[in-house]
Amino acid sequence: MLKKFVVFFIFACFILVCSGCDRPKTIILFNNAPITKENILSTATEFTLGKRIYYVFMTEKKLETDLIRIRILKRNEKANFQPTKLFYSNDFRLYKDQIYYYNDYIVIHESGYYGMVIYAKNQLNKPLATANFRVK
């Protein structure tokens, strides 16, 4: 009986590991200056109030959609980084020269902790990438 249980447990673990979704690897990087090839690796997570926050969203594989939705959630530092309100949301079209990345900037005039979440427009239930930053 124990042998059957061990075999079943190993088989279940193998199925869980092998049946994972194959989503493209993605990342969001922030910077204080416009993002170029030279400064893409000098990232920041703390920014000054009212200044531009440059970001780039990159993926290793071509996305299946040409529309992405970017949401910025303001987080409460006392509530274990849970989102308290939707601060910003907008949809953007990815052009043929941007199928592996999207870059832009935002300006935030409220201090606090924020989280950026990027979705494919056709799958709003699974985020492609998330990143946190702070404005003070």
Distance between CA atoms of 114 and 74, rounded to whole angstroms?
5
Beta-carbon count within 10 A of 115 CB: 17
Domains and CATH numbers, the chain: 22-135 (2.60.40.1930)
Residue 16: band (very low, low, confident or very high) from pLDDT cuts 50, 70, 90: very low
Q: Which residues contact 95 (CB under 8 A, 6 or more apart)?
A: 66
DSSP string computed for 58-119: EESS--S-SEEEEEEEEE-TTTTT-EEEEEEEEEEEPPGGGTTEEEEEEE--S-EEEEEEEE
**What pLDDT does 22 receive?**
55
pLDDT digits (tens, 9 = 90+) for 24-73: 589 999 999 999 888 888 899 999 999 999 999 998 888 888 899 999 99
**What pLDDT does 1 receive?**
62
pLDDT digits (tens, 9 = 90+) for 74-107: 987 776 656 678 999 999 998 877 778 899 999 9
Tell which wins on pLDDT, 12 or 127.
Answer: 127
